[in-house]
Structure 1
Amino acid sequence: MKKLIISIPLLIIAAGVLVTGCKKSEFTDSYYNPDRSVSATIPSLYAGLLFNERVLPRYWGLFTLQIPVVGTYSQTAGYTQGNKIYEQPVNYTKDRWDYYYTTTLARYREIEKLYNQLPTDAEKTGNLLFLETARIFLYDQTAQMVDMYGDIPFSTAGQLNAQGIVVLPSYDKGDDIYTNILTELKRISDYLSTATPDAFYLNQFTSYDYVNKGSVTMWRKYCNSLILRLAMRISYKDETTAKSLVQTILGNTTKYPLIDAASESIKIQPSSTTSSLVSLNDIRNGFGVNPFAPGKMVDDIMWPANDPRLPIYFTANKNGEYHGVPNTWNATRVSDSTTANYFSRWDSTTFTENNLFPGIIFTAAEVSFLKAEVYERWGGGTAKTAYDAGVKQSIQFYVSINNASSYTGAKDAMPSDATIALYLANPIVAYGTNNLAKIATQKWIDFGVIQAHQAWAEYRRTKLPALTFPTDGSSVLSPNPPTRFLYPSTESSFNTTNYAAVKSSDNVTTKVFWDVK
C-alpha cells in the first residue's frame, strides 16, 4: 500500500482530512459539497479551498486573534492598556499558522497533485481554470502569512510524498516568496485575459466557485488588484520593481481590469442564515467581551469629521455621541466608563448580530486608496479623484452589508452625495495636505477590525496613520507592539534543522522584509 508522507509543518493525516476539514456538513445549496464526495476531485477540493475560516467571520479567529491581538497592534479595536498587553498568545498565533498549512496550503497541494495526475491534455486544459484561480486565492493567503511571520516554509511545504520519507520543509525568504507570487500573478492574469474555457468545464467552475460565481472577469479583477496591493507593499523596499508592475497594471485597464465598484468587492457572501457558509452567532461570539470602538479612529477622526460611516460602524453612547476606548486610560477608568455607557460598540446590525456578514477578501475602496497612493507618489493619474472614490466606495460597501443584515434592527440609508461631499471637505479628511497620511487613514478605517491583519501590515509598511502605543513596563518580552508573529514552538521541535536557519530572527523586533520605513 502506498504511504502518504506529509511535509512538516503540514501534519495532516490523509486526503480525506483535506476534504472534510470544514466544520459544517454541507455548503450552501447553490454549490457542490466536497465533504460528501466519495473521492476527492479537483472541483470539490477547489470548493474546500475557498471555504476558509480565516476569511469567514468565525468565532475562533475573531475572538482569539483578530480582535484582541491584531486589533490591538493596528488600533482597529478598542482595548485597555494593561499588563503584557502586547505579548502574543502563542497558542493562538500557532492556530493561525496551523490553519494555513493544514487547510489552505493542504487543499491547494491536493488540487495540484490531482491536476498533475490527469491522464489527458484535454482534461488538463479543461481544469486549468480551477488550478489558476486556486493559485490566486492561495497566493493571497500566503502573502498574508509572510506579512505576519516573515520567512516561512512554502516551496517545499505541503507536498504529499509517496517515497516513504518525511520531507522537512526549508524556510523561504519572504522577499523571494513575494517575488514569486508577483511573477505568478502576472502570468495568471495574462492567461485569464485570453482564457476561453470549454462550456462543460465553465459550468463546473460556476457550480463550485462561490466567491466569484464562475465569473472569469471577476477573477481577473481580483488577481490584478492583488498585484496592486502586493506591489505597493514592497514599494518602499523595492520601488523600481513595484513601480514597473503598478504602471503595467494601471496603464492597460482593458487587459488588467481592477475592482472598480463597491458592488464588485470580492467576498464570500452567504445567501441566507441557513447556508452552510454561516455558523450562527459566530460573529457575535467573536466580538465577545471586546465589542468596543477604537479610540483614535472614532475620537480623533470619525466623530469630529462627522464620518457618514459612524452609525453604520458603531452605536452611539447614552448621550448620542460616539467615543472609542482610549489606549492611554487605565483599566479602572475604562471599566467605570464602560459601566456608564460612555463607549460606542461595533454596530449590531452591520457587525455583531449580522449572521450574513461576508468574508471580506478585497474591497473596491482598497483598490482606490492604492491608486491614490500610486498617483500621489509617482503621478500617472489624479490622486484626489481616486481618494474621494475610495471614501465613497467604503461607505457604499458597508451600507450594503448593513442593509443585507440578518438582524432585524433598523437599517441605515445610503448617505446623500451632499453628506459625503461635506465629509470630504472637512479639514481632517480633505485631500490637499498630508495626503499620504490621509490615504492611509481612510484605508485603515475601511479595513476596520474585520480586516485588522491588512491594517496591521499597512501600518508597519507606511507608519501611517500616526499611532501612539504606550510602552508596557510590565513586559520584558514585548514592552511595545511586535513587528511580526513568533513561530510556533512545534517548528523548533519538529523542523529543528530548518528552524535553525531562522532562529536568530525569531523575535518580536525582527521586521518583515518590506518594513523599511
Structure 2
Amino acid sequence: MKNKHIIYATLVLVSALSLASCTKTDFDDNYYDPERSVYADVPKLFTGLLYNHDRRSAHNIFPRYFHFFTFRVPMLGTYSQTYGYQSANGRYEQNPAYTQDYWSLFYTSYVASYRELQRHIEASSPEEQEGYRLFQETANIFFYDQATQVVDMWGDIPFFEAGQLVQSGGVIRNAPFDSQEEIYSFILNDLKRIADWLNTAEITPFYKSMFNGADILNEGDIEGWKIYANSLRLRLAMRISYQNDAKAREIAAEIINNPSVYPIITNNQNSVKIDARGDQLRSVVVDDGAGIRGGLESGGRNIAPGVMINEYMNPANDPRLYAMFSRNREGQYRGLDPTLTSTQQADLISANMISRLDSATYSTNDKYPGILITAAEISFFKAEAAERWGVGNAAEEYERGIRQSIDFIYYINSLNDNADGTSYTPKTPPTPAAINAFLSHNLIRYEGSQEERLEKIGIQRWINFGVMQAHQAWAEYRRTKYPALTFSRDNNSVQAPEPPNRLLYPENERMYNAENYNAVRAYDTPQNKVFWDVK
C-alpha cells in the first residue's frame, strides 16, 4: 500500500504554453547528473530537484548571472533597498519578462522535478516506496521552501493541483489558484509531520547509501534535514506572526523550547546551504552566461545601498563593512542615497564616490554557496520571539545573531580561491574587542522600548540578508516594516510610482490559464498585499 503520508498535492505546470514546451528530452536534459547518465531514477531525480544544472544561469539558490542581473537585484533589491538603485524613471516597475522567467522557472523546474520524483516513487513497489520515503520527505522540505518564496512574492498561486497533467476528453485542465493562507497552513503542519517522522524513521543501509550519494545539500546527514525542516517552520511561523499571533507563538514555543526534538540552526556550521564544491556547483567567475560576476557587476548591480551603509553600518563602525563593501576613492564607505536625483547619483558614481559590493566576497568568489537559511536569521527570529512572547532570552539571541552574521560574511570572504586569476588575501576578521565595541554602540546595544528593540532586531536581520537574499529581505521588510525605509515617489510612472506590495501575475498565466486567473483577477494589483502583511 502506498504510504499515506507522501504528499497528496498534485503540483503542475500552470500554463499550456509551459506544458507544451517541456518535452521529455528537455526534462531529462535539465537534470544535474553527476554521472552524466540519461536514465532518470529516484536518486538522480532527487539531485535534479536540488540543483538543475542546465538552468544554472537562472538558478535562484546559487548566485548566478541571469537571476541576479534581471530579477533579484534590480527588482527585489530595489524594493528592499539592499542595493544602491538609481532614481531613474520606472525604477519600481516590474519587468514582466523577468517575473515571467522566475514564475516559469518555479513551475517548469522545481515543480516538474518534484512531481517527476513523486511519480517515480509512486510507481515503485510497496517495499521500494518505503525505502524511498526518505527521498520524498526531504524533497518535501526543499520544495516547500521554494513554494513559500513564490507565495511571499505573489500571494495566491497554483499549488495543490499544479504539477500533473489532468485530462478530460483530451482537454488539459489547468490548475486553479490556491489560497496563500491555506498553502502556508498546510506546509506548516506538514513540516511538523516530517520532522516527527525523521525523529523515528528507520532507514535501511541500502537506501541510506543511495541517499548519501544523491544529497548535495546535507550529504546524507539526517540531522541536517531535521534542522532544515524545523528552521524553515520557524521562519514561516514568524512570517505569519502579525497575521496569526496565537498560531505563530505556539509553533515558535514548541520549536524553541524543545531543541532535542525539534533541532534548528544554532551556528554557522549547520546553516542550511549547498556548498560550491566541484566544478558543477561553483559559481563560474569567468562569466560564461552562468556565473555571478556579470550578474553583479553589469549595469551597476554592485552599487552599495545608501541607507544600509550611511545610516546604520558606517555610524556604528560595523565590522561587516570591510568584507561586504569596497571603499570609495576617498577611502570611505558610502552608499548611494536613494533620495538624490538621478543626475546627482550619476555624478557621484562616475566620480567613484560610492562604494561597491566587495568583489572578492561576492562577484569573483566562485565558491559562494547556495544559501537557504543562515544561523543569524534563526537567531534573530528567536530574539523576536523572546521579545514579543517571552520565549527565551532576547538580548542573548540578538547579540548571537550579530556575531554569527559577522562570522559568516568573513567565512564567505575566505572561500575565494583566486579562480579568476587575481591575487587576493582573505580579509582579517575583527577581533573580539572590536566586536564587543560594536555591540556596545548606542545604535546597536540592545536597549530602549520594546518597539525600539524590535526595530534593532529587524535592522540587523535586514543587513544580514543583504542583496544576496533580497527576496527574504523584501519579505521581512513588508512583514515588520523594519527598517523604516523612505522611497521617493516616481511621478513619471503610472504603473508603480511607489514600490509594490506584491508581484503581478505573468502574462502567460493571464493568457493560458485565463479561467483560473479570472478568479484572482481582482487581487492582481501591486497595491494588494500577501496575507501575512498586516502591520
TM bucket normalised to smaller: over 0.9
Q: Are the counterparts in 2 of residues 19 and 45 from structure 1 also a CA contact under 8 Å? A: no
**Alignment of 1:514 onto 2:532:** yes
3-state SS of 2:467 partner: coil
Which residue, out of 132, 146, 149, partners 2:151?
Answer: 146
Aligned partners of 2:188 and 2:24: how far apart in 1? 29
**Alignment of 1:129 onto 2:134:** yes
3-state SS of 1:349 partner: coil
**Alignment of 1:84 onto 2:118:** no
- Partner of 2:274 in structure 1? 268
- Partner of 2:295 in structure 1? 286
**Alignment of 1:312 onto 2:323:** yes
Q: Are the counterparts in 1 of residues 326 and 356 from structure 2 also a CA contact under 8 Å? A: yes
Aligned partners of 2:338 and 2:222: how far apart in 1? 45
Amino acid at match of 2:433: A
3-state SS of 1:414 partner: coil
**Alignment of 1:424 onto 2:434:** no
Equivalent residues in 2 for 1:22-421, closer than 5 Å: 32-33=34-35, 36-51=36-51, 53-119=59-125, 121-161=126-166, 164-272=170-278, 274-280=279-285, 281=287, 282-287=291-296, 288-290=298-300, 291-407=302-418, 408-421=423-436
Q: Tell me by how many angstroms 1:268 deviates.
A: 1.5
3-state SS of 1:267 partner: strand
Given the two structures, how large is their TM-score scaled by the length of structure 1?
Answer: 0.94
Aligned partners of 1:139 and 1:385: how far apart in 2? 30
Q: Tell me by how many angstroms 1:39 deviates.
A: 2.6
Q: How many residues align?
A: 502
- Partner of 2:6 in structure 1? none
Amino acid at match of 2:299: V
Q: Tell me by how many angstroms 1:406 deviates.
A: 2.8
3-state SS of 1:324 partner: coil
3-state SS of 1:151 partner: coil
Q: Which moved more, 1:142-151 or 1:274-283?
A: 274-283
Query: Per-residue CA shift, 1:376-403, capped at 9, x if unaligned?
Result: 0000211000000000111111111111
**Alignment of 1:435 onto 2:422:** no
Q: Are the counterparts in 1 of residues 275 and 367 from structure 2 also a CA contact under 8 Å? A: yes
Query: Per-residue CA shift, 1:292-328, capped at 9, x if unaligned?
Result: 1100000101111011100100011122110000001
Aligned partners of 1:340 and 1:400: how far apart in 2? 32
- Alignment gaps of 5+ in structure 2: 1-10, 53-58
Q: Tell me by how many angstroms 1:250 deviates.
A: 1.0
3-state SS of 2:273 partner: strand
Deviating above 6 A after TM superposition, structure 1's stretches of 4 or more consecutive aligned residues are: none
Amino acid at match of 1:192: L
Amino acid at match of 2:426: K
- Partner of 1:501 in structure 2? 519
Q: Tell me by how many angstroms 1:330 deviates.
A: 1.2
Aligned partners of 2:492 and 2:366: how far apart in 1? 39
- Alignment gaps of 5+ in structure 1: none
Amino acid at match of 2:334: H
Q: Which moved more, 1:11-20 or 1:389-398?
A: 11-20
Q: Are the counterparts in 2 of residues 353 and 406 from structure 1 also a CA contact under 8 Å? A: no
Change (3 A) 1:206 1:64: same
Aligned partners of 1:501 and 1:160: how far apart in 2? 21
Given the two structures, how large is their TM-score scaled by the length of structure 2?
Answer: 0.91
Q: Are the counterparts in 2 of residues 7 and 167 from structure 1 also a CA contact under 8 Å? A: no
Aligned partners of 2:24 and 2:381: how far apart in 1? 39
Q: Tell me by how many angstroms 1:196 deviates.
A: 2.5
Q: CA RMSD in A?
A: 1.5
3-state SS of 1:451 partner: helix
Q: Tell me by how many angstroms 1:465 deviates.
A: 0.7
Aligned partners of 1:491 and 1:380: how far apart in 2? 43
Identity of aligned residues (%): 44
3-state SS of 1:135 partner: helix
Amino acid at match of 1:145: V
Q: Are the counterparts in 1 of residues 13 and 112 from structure 2 also a CA contact under 8 Å? A: no
Equivalent residues in 2 for 1:15-26, closer than 5 Å: 15-21=24-30
Q: Are the counterparts in 2 of residues 6 and 167 from structure 1 also a CA contact under 8 Å? A: no
